[in-house]
């Protein structure tokens, strides 16, 4: 089977500014591939070029062995797309919208559409302009998946979804992956990429920094914890624990970063009287800082 | 083998989205045309009107356009509706919708749904341009219908075939301006720019046509004026020549072709 997606030295310039610079990557059949970077890093630019909304300044993009520009129409039968800030026709209801998109040439499996509507609890009979952001996002997800495309491009797919629906979304992605379809997820949410992806590319300021195998990457196994102790802990002692860094202590609370397996951290923690332990969201910028520190230490 | 859909979904959706506007424009111009027709008997009876129009200074006559005998049915129609008002009204409709139909999708982001589907950009242009044409055409038809109904109510002796041809000619002029506006929006993706440039073109076209008989320096511009090839009184009196109709058609088709090429190569939604 031909590679679903190959970027070869893809560059996009807007006058003097660079949207994406010399990006090369390949998404394999059946792979969930993460595309991770802060806002403005070039993720959306890259996705728009893959879909031929914008043309590469140099380099090329191929989909299933076909060129993204010259074979743009043909390849779109096999592509699903969810925009980051999805825009839908407000005067239509969800069902009308899905029918309209289907009428544009995608071969839709309507039984699967019903199944998706059930799974996501989508409201298909109300005008889209009256729906909340989360409910619009559900319709956006449905139109991306409804024709069971071989490659699905998702730009910030869970924005607006509540945690329960995020879990449903993860189930849908995993099911698609089991069926051998490839999924390209652009995100600035590290946990989401860790949860779903087999590999991830890291992009910053338009440049590809690295491509990592998620499961095997020690550096990506990176979490922030907030610990509440019975008594104020000693900061030096916490910093001396292997795999722990970025320690800050305030009264009886401490924030720490744990890299890699958490075993040693948990064992060390058992010596203390711990009242509470919670995981905090990792900000991508922090992760990048950590990532570069890792590079410089090696 | 998978084939690219060549249906008219985008056209239908564009017209459906605009149905209220199409309806109210239709009602508006229908009512206007109907009243123009119904008021004819009261103009017909005014003595000396023809003499007044003949005695107007040359400059004023040029600005008003060749209106002939305003008390005759054709002269009255040319003066009150077809000479300037109708091409102006239909061009306003064409320029506005021509500028908006592509750029609205781009501004709102819904164009991404179209571009992510197996539809070529040329197909999008084809259907959107057809929507502009049908919108203007439907307003033109409403005008003809208004005149036609007025002839059933009052004694207004005009050839409905020639009225149809004059309406068609005005519609084609409006389509040409609408397609120029559409072309600019396809090339640049900016509604304001498309409306601005095309409105200036219309105004220049109008004044270069009407002032050319008075100002020698403007004469070369007159041939470039789209309105120069639209002579309402002539069409209402003698019918529409291929030559008169073809200029607007050629300009419209040229703008359409440039829209196709320009839209194909442009970065969209940036």
Q: What is the pLDDT of residues A252-264, one digit of tens each?
A: 999 998 887 788 8
pLDDT at A159: 82
B114: closest CA of chain A, how far (Å):
8
- Stretch A132-159: mean pLDDT, rounded? 93
Do residues A227 and A66 lie in contact, with contact meaning Cβ atoms separated by under 8 Å?
Answer: no
Q: Which single residue is written with the structure tokens 């100002």?
A: B215
Is the per-residue pLDDT at A283 higher than 80?
no
User: What is the pLDDT confidence band of residue B46, given thresholds at 50, 70 and 90?
Assistant: confident
How confident is the model over A39-48, as pLDDT tens digits?
888 999 999 9
pTM here is 0.86
In terms of pLDDT, which residue wins out, B57 or A158? Answer: A158
Sheet of strand A199-204: strand arrangement: A66-67, A58-63, A5-14, A17-27, A207-213, A199-204, A32-36, A182-187, A151-155, A79-82
Is the per-residue pLDDT at B26 higher than 60?
yes
pLDDT at B64: 60
pLDDT at B216: 81
Closest residue in chain A to residue B18, using alpha carbons only? A91
For A256, residues 6+ apart whose C-beta sits below 8 A from its C-beta are: A224, A225, A227, A238, A244, A245, A246, A247, A265
- Stretch B53-59: mean pLDDT, rounded? 68
B74: closest CA of chain A, how far (Å):
44
Is the per-residue pLDDT at B248 higher than 90?
yes
Subunit contact B109:A91, Cβ cutoff 8 A: no
**A15-29, A88-102, A236-250, B141-155: the lowest-pLDDT one:** A236-250
**A229-243, B84-98, B168-182: the lowest-pLDDT one:** A229-243
User: What is the pLDDT confidence band of residue B62, given thresholds at 50, 70 and 90?
Assistant: low
Is the per-residue pLDDT at B49 higher than 60?
yes
Nearest to A81 among B9, B10, B116 (CB): B116
Rounded Cα–Cα distance for residues A140 and A75 (Å): 20
Tokens of A138: 């559900």
Is the per-residue pLDDT at A294 higher than 70?
no
Rounded Cα–Cα distance for residues B194 and A217 (Å): 53
Q: Which single residue is written with the structure tokens 């698609």?
A: A176
Subunit contact B117:A100, Cβ cutoff 8 A: no
* Interface test with chain A among B16, B104, B118, B189, by most A beta carbons within 10 Å: B118
Rounded Cα–Cα distance for residues A187 and A194 (Å): 11
Q: Which residues is A280 bridged to in the sheet?
A: A224
B53: region left, alpha or beta (phi > 0 left; psi from -120 to 50 alpha): alpha
Sheet of strand A244-250: strand arrangement: A244-250, A253-259, A222-229, A274-280
Closest residue in chain A to residue B104, using alpha carbons only? A89
In degrees and rounded to multiples of 5, residue A6 shows phi and psi of -135, 125
pLDDT at B5: 46
- HEC secondary structure over A166-190: HHHHHHHHHHHHHCCCEEEEEECCH
Share of chain B above pLDDT 70, in %: 89
Q: Is B5 on the interface with A (CB under 8 A)?
A: yes
Chain A neighbors of B117, CB-CB under 8 A = 76, 101, 104-106
A253-259 and A244-250 as β-strands: parallel, antiparallel, unpaired? antiparallel
**B1-5, B143-147, B184-188: the lowest-pLDDT one:** B1-5
| H or E segment to which residue B98 belongs | helix B85-108
| Alpha carbon B129 to its chain's center | 14
> Buried (b) or exposed (e) across A117-138, using 16+ Cβ within 10 A?
bebbebbbeeebeebeeebbbb
How confident is the model over A191-228, as pLDDT tens digits?
788 888 989 998 988 999 888 888 666 566 778 899 99
Closest residue in chain A to residue B107, using alpha carbons only? A87
Q: Is B159 on the interface with A (CB under 8 A)?
A: no
pLDDT at A259: 82
- Stretch B203-217: mean pLDDT, rounded? 86
Closest residue in chain B to residue A152, using alpha carbons only? B116
Rounded Cα–Cα distance for residues A198 and A200 (Å): 7
Is the per-residue pLDDT at A2 higher than 90?
no
A5-14 and A58-63 as β-strands: parallel, antiparallel, unpaired? antiparallel
A151-155 and A182-187 as β-strands: parallel, antiparallel, unpaired? parallel
The radius of gyration computed from the CA coordinates of chain A, to the nearest angstrom, equals 22
How many other C-beta atoms are found inside a 10 Å radius of the C-beta of residue B19?
10
Distances (CA, A) of A295 to A41, A285, A298: 20, 15, 5
pLDDT at A261: 79
Residue B114's nearest CA partner among A91, A50, A105, A54 is A105
Chain A neighbors of B21, CB-CB under 8 A = none
Share of chain B above pLDDT 90, in %: 71
Rounded Cα–Cα distance for residues B165 and B74 (Å): 13
Tokens of B167: 């309406």
Instruction: Look at chain B and count its residues.
Output: 270
Q: Is B11 on the interface with A (CB under 8 A)?
A: no
Rounded Cα–Cα distance for residues A164 and A42 (Å): 29
Chain A neighbors of B268, CB-CB under 8 A = 53-54
Half-sphere exposure of A100 (CA within 13 A, CB side): 22
- Stretch A32-61: mean pLDDT, rounded? 93
Is the per-residue pLDDT at B172 higher than 50?
yes
Is the per-residue pLDDT at B1 higher than 50?
no
Nearest to B109 among A14, A52, A87 (CB): A87
Q: Which single residue is written with the structure tokens 């601005």?
A: B196
**A77-86, A266-275, B39-48: the lowest-pLDDT one:** B39-48
Q: Which single residue is written with the structure tokens 């060390």?
A: A268
Rounded Cα–Cα distance for residues B127 and B117 (Å): 15
- DSSP per-residue codes, A21-80: EEEEEEE-TT-EEEEE--TTSSHHHHHHHHTTSS--SEEEEEETTEETTTTHHHHGGGEE
Q: Is B109 on the interface with A (CB under 8 A)?
A: yes
Q: Dmax over Cα atoms in chain B, in whole Å?
A: 75
For A48, residues 6+ apart whose C-beta sits below 8 A from its C-beta are: A54, B269, B270
pLDDT at B61: 65
Subunit contact B112:A53, Cβ cutoff 8 A: yes
- Stretch B19-24: mean pLDDT, rounded? 96
* Interface test with chain B among A103, A148, A155, by most B beta carbons within 10 Å: A103
User: What is the pLDDT confidence band of residue B6, given thresholds at 50, 70 and 90?
Assistant: low
For B245, residues 6+ apart whose C-beta sits below 8 A from its C-beta are: B168, B169, B172
In terms of pLDDT, which residue wins out, A270 or B48? Answer: A270
Subunit contact A104:B4, Cβ cutoff 8 A: no
Tokens of A173: 């992605």
Is the per-residue pLDDT at B229 higher than 50?
yes
Number of inter-chain CB pairs under 8 A, A vs B: 75
**B27-41, B42-56, B131-145: the lowest-pLDDT one:** B42-56
A222: closest CA of chain B, how far (Å):
35
How confident is the model over B73-118, as pLDDT tens digits?
998 999 999 999 999 999 999 999 999 999 999 999 999 999 999 9
How confident is the model over A72-121, as pLDDT tens digits?
999 999 999 999 888 999 999 999 999 999 999 999 989 999 999 999 99
Tokens of B173: 């002029």
Subunit contact B268:A53, Cβ cutoff 8 A: yes
- Stretch B125-134: mean pLDDT, rounded? 97
Is the per-residue pLDDT at A297 higher than 50?
no
Rounded Cα–Cα distance for residues A229 and B9 (Å): 64
Q: Is A164 exposed, middle or buried (0-12, 13-18, 19+ CB in 10 A)?
A: exposed
Residue B260's nearest CA partner among B131, B133, B129 is B129
Subunit contact B268:A87, Cβ cutoff 8 A: no
Residue A283's nearest CA partner among A250, A243, A255 is A255
Do residues B150 and B32 lie in contact, with contact meaning Cβ atoms separated by under 8 Å?
Answer: no
Is the per-residue pLDDT at A298 higher than 60?
no
Q: Is B159 exposed, middle or buried (0-12, 13-18, 19+ CB in 10 A)?
A: middle
Scanning A15-74 for CB atoms below 8 A from B yields 48, 51-55, 72-74
Q: Is B120 on the interface with A (CB under 8 A)?
A: yes
pLDDT at B2: 42
Mean per-residue pLDDT over chain A, rounded: 89
Closest residue in chain B to residue A143, using alpha carbons only? B113
Q: Is A87 on the interface with B (CB under 8 A)?
A: yes
Residue A140's nearest CA partner among A189, A211, A178, A89 is A89
Chain B neighbors of A81, CB-CB under 8 A = 112, 116
Mean per-residue pLDDT over chain B, rounded: 90
Q: Which single residue is written with the structure tokens 């619009």?
A: A136
């Amino acid at each position: 089977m031909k590679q679903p997606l190959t970027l070869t030295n893809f560059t996009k310039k807007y006058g003097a500014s660079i949207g994406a610079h010399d990006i090369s990557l390949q998404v394999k059949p059946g792979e969930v591939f993460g595309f991770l970077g802060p806002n403005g890093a070039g993720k959306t630019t890259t996705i728009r070029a893959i879909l031929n909304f914008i043309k590469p300044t140099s380099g090329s993009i191929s989909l299933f062995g076909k060129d993204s520009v010259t074979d743009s129409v043909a390849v779109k039968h096999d592509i699903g797309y969810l925009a980051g800030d999805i825009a839908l026709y407000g005067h239509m209801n969800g069902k009308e919208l899905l029918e309209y998109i289907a009428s544009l040439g995608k071969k839709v499996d309507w039984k699967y559409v019903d199944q998706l509507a059930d799974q996501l609890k989508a409201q298909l009979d109300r005008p889209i302009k009256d729906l909340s952001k989360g409910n619009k996002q559900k319709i956006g997800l449905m139109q991306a998946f409804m024709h069971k495309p071989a490659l699905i491009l998702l730009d910030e797919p869970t924005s607006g979804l509540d945690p329960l629906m995020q879990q449903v979304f993860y189930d849908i992605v995993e099911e698609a992956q089991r069926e051998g379809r490839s999924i390209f997820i652009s995100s600035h949410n590290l946990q989401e990429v860790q949860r779903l992806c087999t590999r991830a590319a890291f992009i910053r300021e338009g440049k590809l920094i690295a491509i990592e195998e998620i499961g095997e990457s020690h550096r990506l196994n990176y979490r922030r914890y907030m610990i509440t102790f019975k008594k104020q802990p000693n900061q030096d002692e916490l910093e001396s624990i292997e795999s722990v860094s970025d320690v800050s202590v305030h009264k009886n609370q401490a924030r720490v970063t744990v890299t890699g397996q958490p075993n040693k951290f948990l064992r060390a923690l058992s010596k203390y009287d711990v009242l509470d332990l919670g995981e905090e969201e990792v900000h991508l910028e922090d992760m990048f800082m950590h990532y570069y520190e890792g590079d410089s230490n090696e | 083998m998978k084939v690219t859909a060549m249906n008219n979904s985008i056209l239908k959706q564009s017209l459906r989205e605009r149905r209220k506007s199409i309806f109210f424009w239709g009602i508006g111009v229908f009512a206007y045309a109907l009243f123009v027709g119904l008021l004819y008997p009261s103009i017909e009876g005014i003595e000396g009107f023809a003499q007044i129009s003949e005695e107007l200074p040359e400059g004023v006559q040029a600005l008003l356009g060749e209106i002939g005998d305003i008390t005759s049915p054709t002269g009255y129609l040319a003066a009150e509706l077809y000479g300037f008002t109708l091409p102006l009204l239909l061009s306003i409709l064409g320029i506005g919708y021509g500028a908006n139909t592509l750029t609205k999708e781009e501004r709102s982001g819904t164009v991404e749904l179209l571009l992510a589907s197996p539809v070529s950009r040329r197909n999008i242009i084809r259907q959107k341009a057809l929507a502009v044409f049908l919108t203007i055409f439907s307003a033109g038809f409403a005008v003809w219908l208004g005149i036609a109904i007025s002839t059933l109510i009052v004694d207004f002796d005009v050839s409905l075939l020639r009225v149809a041809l004059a309406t068609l000619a005005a519609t084609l002029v409006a389509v040409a301006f609408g397609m120029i506006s559409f072309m600019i929006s396809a090339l640049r993706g900016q509604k304001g720019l498309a409306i601005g440039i095309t409105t200036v073109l219309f105004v220049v076209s109008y004044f270069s046509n009407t002032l050319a008989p008075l100002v020698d320096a403007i004469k070369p511009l007159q041939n470039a004026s789209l309105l120069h090839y639209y002579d309402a009184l002539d069409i209402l009196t003698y019918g529409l020549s291929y030559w008169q109709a073809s200029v607007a058609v050629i300009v419209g088709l040229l703008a359409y072709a440039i829209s196709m090429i320009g839209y194909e190569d442009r970065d969209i939604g940036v």
